[in-house]
Amino acid sequence: MAKQFDVVVIGSGPAGYHAAIRCAQLGFNTACVEKWLNKEDKTVYGGTCLNVGCIPSKALLDSSHKYLEAQKHFADHGIKTGKVELDVPTMIARKEKVVGQLTQGVAGLFKSNKVEGIAGTGKVIAKNKVEVTGHDGKTEELEAKNIIIAAGSVPIDIPPAPVDQDTIVDSTGALEFSEVPKKLGIIGAGVIGLELGSVWARLGSEVTILEALDDFLPAVDRHTAKEALKIFSKQGLDIKLGSKVTGSKVGKGAKKGVTVEYTDKDGEQKAQFDKLIVCVGRKPATANVIDDSVGLELDQRGFVKVDDNCKTNIDGIYAIGDAVRGPMLAHKGMEEGVMVAERLVDKKVQVNYDLVPSVIYTHPEVAWIGKNEDQLKEEGVEYNAGQFPFVVSGRALAAADTDGFVKLLADAKTDRVLGCQIIGPSAADLLQIVAVAMEFSTSAEDLALTMFAHPSLSEAVHEASLALHGHAIHIANRKRR
């Protein structure tokens, strides 16, 4: 006999585990199906984000930044360390420890909230039925009044560079190098490519990033993207724009490594690397999660079609996170998971898709929210812009971390804040100040009249809001007509 539940969630990534926990908190008998196994073949929760995505990459970003600081910058602070040695296996082990602590934490949250974790691969086989195939091949059926699909996403493969997880790896394999590659190639100058490139460049790799597009970071405004390109290039990332990879050949024996063929404005080119990372994007992991007989609608790219409330074309079935439209960001999926749970008890909770923060966790970080200048110009919106550089921030100077700026945009008529772009130290955290302000329809004047602690990096947000109307204190203001 099939197990009976009020809610069955497929996938325990950020979207899935948030949905499952909130459903349980609201009184629903909830199960969460997870297929992920760790290196010891034990079921672990947290999906891509906790296991091979956001968390392990940030652990390596932090470790590599500390190594670079100790190697090159501690002396500026009067700290003499002697010869700094790198121990990559220990660094990777620390990353694994962080991952283990957080995945165990999700398991603990399931237990305390009475969410039943079920190991195996879930598949929707009817309007209210999920078939689970265990790792031993045995199957069982779960019946549920509501099903939430949170299957996540997987890296996109490209024919010119087939991944073997040895010489040519995806973002998962790039977190497992046992030594620093002398020459590292990366296909894709997006968020993942820049973060992984930063990690290994700090540790000593000669990094080349091949990007097919002619524009760098097209989701960011041109001014911010230009500044980011300048900083990253200075850090040693050789970013080749307009470079389309056409083929690759993995060497053997003494010629181990990979030769990459690509075309740029000068024609056909070749490059030799010890390792190659393919990170050209991700796609929804919805294949084999929904039986065709169910009639659930998917688009051409495999995303489950949903409305603004993440409801599918079939009553009682929802989809959230990377499995549906919108940016593939953990926090977006988290909010969708909670929204769906709340809507099951008729609470009219809504995700504000206009205010999804985006961050690249390089150093400096790059973060943005709302509209950028390019978008406002295209839409014909009159706006004012205020900008403040970290180079004149007392807190940034004290920390010797002065690259970048805060840019704030507001409607020229209403003064309502329309967007913000930050490149600089702690950009992700500073952006959240503006995210909260925008959620409450704050004006630039509201921010300008708010008291900020001194000295703090957050003062850069304050000064940008002052600069928007020509009232900045610590920089010369542009003349206003």
Q: Tokens in use for 316?
A: 């009682």
Neighbours of 216 (CB within 10 A): 18
Helix/strand/coil (H/E/C) assignment for every residue in the chain: CCEEEEEEEECCCHHHHHHHHHHHHCCCCEEEEECCECCCCCECCCHHHHHHCHHHHHHHHHHHHHHHHHHHHHHHHCCCCCCCCCCHHHHHHHHHHHHHHHHHHHHHHHHHCCCEEEECEEEEEECCEEEEECCCCCEEEEEEEEEEECCCEEECCCCCCCCCCCCEECCCHHHCCCCCCCEEEEECCCHHHHHHHHHHHHCCCEEEEECCCCCCCCCCCHHHHHHHHHHHHHCCEEEECCCEEEEEEECCHHHCCEEEEEEECCEEEEEEECEEEECCCEEECCCCCECHHHCCCECCCCCECCCCCCECCCCCEEECHHHCCCCCCHHHHHHHHHHHHHHCCCCCCCCCHHHCCEEECCCCEEEEEECCHHHHHHHCCCEEEEEEEHHHCHHHHHCCCCCCEEEEEEECCCCEEEEEEEEECCHHHHHHHHHHHHHCCCEHHHHHCCCCCCCCCCHHHHHHHHHCCCCCCCCCCCCCC
Q: Which residues contact 397 (CB under 8 A, 6 or more apart)?
A: 391
Instruction: Tell me, yes or no, if 18 is annotated catalytic.
Output: no
Neighbours of 138 (CB within 10 A): 9
Catalytic residue among 18, 223, 454, 471: 454
Residues annotated as catalytic are: 454
